[in-house]
Amino acid sequence: MIKRLGLAALLAFGFACRSSTPPQHAREAPPTSPGPSETNVQPQLVDTPPADVSHGEAQIGGPNASPAPVDARLPPAEPARLRRIRFEVSHKTIDIAPGVKYAAWTFDGVVPGPALHIRQGDTVAFTLVNRTNMPHSMDFHAAEIAPSKYYVNVVPGDSLHYRFVARVPGAFMYHCGTAPTAMHIANGMYGALIVDPATPRPRAKEFVLVQSEFYLSSKPDASGAKSLDWSRLLGLVPDHIVFNGRADQYATHPLDVRPNQLLRLYVVNAGPNRISSFHVVGGIFERVFQDGSQANPLIGVQTVNVPVGGGSIFELRLREPGDYPFVTHAFADATKGAVGVLRAIAAR
Ligand code: CU
Ligand code: CU
């Protein structure tokens, strides 16, 4: 790992020093013989020249066997002002990194839970059905209701129903709130609820990115799946930090956009522990609605923290064709999987 981190720093430097866009997947030829002054310089860099660099943390493109990525596009908001949302809680094995399976606790069988998109003023009629053998619950950050009445445990085989009006626009987290909450979140019980303002935002290409962490047991279960290591969680030592549930998936499968197109990224940080220092390499954010607030957006900024349990809305344009990595700029976390790529392709 130490060797990899050292290489990552050098790769990042090499990436930053490029003066023009290199061809995709082109590899620079290693020198045939090192000069006298190069003999003590990082021999591994010569062995693995800097190419396909997504800031050094993950290779852009990947093995064809890589599973299809989780769809990061924001689903459209439906016209109905009463939104009926029904989630079933189930325990299910999921893929969180190449070759790594995880025994997750899920909303509707997926991690993160389904991305939800509504409009300010919509009423959410929510039903939670518990198909597992332990209590679970649901906490919507977009709701202003009494937790003691609604964020209560649903016992195995039972269900819960409540309603709320989404009065405030933003990018909100939802999650299971059953104690210990860190355990339920770390096992996969979270997602994003996007509430559009009453006056619609300008048209843009929109993606939802939920950052989160996985803390793995050293030994898999009989099926080969890892599960939560509670001591690693309390020690703040995640094994994987991911966008939308899988390490590096949008580096392996970049998100296609157009140059100069307005992009809007809804970044929700589920944690349960790590702050996201969200950054797009090669871009500057036109506007950032910090923690989803409509008031006083940040203008012309490079990196903005998304707090654990919060969500910020990032607007930017990529100025020329090419690959633009997005990361948490806490690079230990990017090295563990919190990296993806926006691929700007000119229209033909
Ligand atoms: Cu739960
Ligand atoms: Cu919460």
| CA nearest to 171, candidates 115, 106, 123, 212 | 115
Task: Quote the ligand 2 centre to 308 CA distance (angstroms).
Answer: 9
More reliable by pLDDT, 38 or 75: 75
In the reported structure, the alpha carbon of residue 233 is separated from the centroid of ligand 1 by a whole-number distance in angstroms of 16
pLDDT at position 6 over 50: no
In degrees, rounded to 5, the angle at the alpha carbon of residue 208 between the alpha carbons of residues 226 and 199 is 155
**Choices 2.60.40.420, 3.40.50.460, 3.40.50.2300, 2.60.60.20: CATH for 205-344:** 2.60.40.420
- Dihedral of CA atoms 275, 276, 277, 278 in degrees, nearest 10, equals -160
Would you call 197 exposed, middle or buried from its count of C-beta atoms within 10 A (0-12, 13-18, 19+)? middle
Residue range 207-247, pLDDT digits in tens: 999 999 999 999 999 999 999 999 999 999 999 999 999 99
* 258 has a pLDDT exceeding 90: yes
* Residue matched to tokens 């597992």: 132
Going along the chain, which residue ranges are E strands? Answer: 82-97, 100-107, 116-119, 123-130, 139-140, 159-165, 170-175, 190-196, 205-214, 240-243, 255-257, 263-271, 276-280, 285-289, 298-301, 303-306, 310-316, 322-328, 339-344
Nearest CA-CA partner of 6 in 48, 69, 39: 48
Q: What is the pLDDT of residues 117-143, one digit of tens each?
A: 999 999 999 999 999 999 999 999 999
Which two tokens mark 250? 């949008």
Q: Where are the domains of the chain?
A: 82-196, 205-344
pTM beyond 0.95: no
* Distance between Cα 177 and ligand 2 center (Å): 7
Q: Of 272, 340, 329, give the one whose Cα is nearest residue 304.
A: 329
Q: What pLDDT does residue 197 have? A: 97
Q: How much distance in Å is there from the Cα of 270 to the middle of ligand 2?
A: 9
Report the separation in Å between the CA atom of 327 and the middle of ligand 1, taken as the mean of its atom positions.
28
* pLDDT for 156: 98
Burial code of 23-47, b = ≥16 C-beta within 10 A, e = fewer?
Answer: eeeeeeeeeeeeeeeeeeeeeebee
Higher pLDDT, 44 or 72: 72
CATH architecture entry for 82-196: Sandwich (2.60)
Q: Which residue has the higher pLDDT, 251 or 43?
A: 251
pLDDT at 53: 57
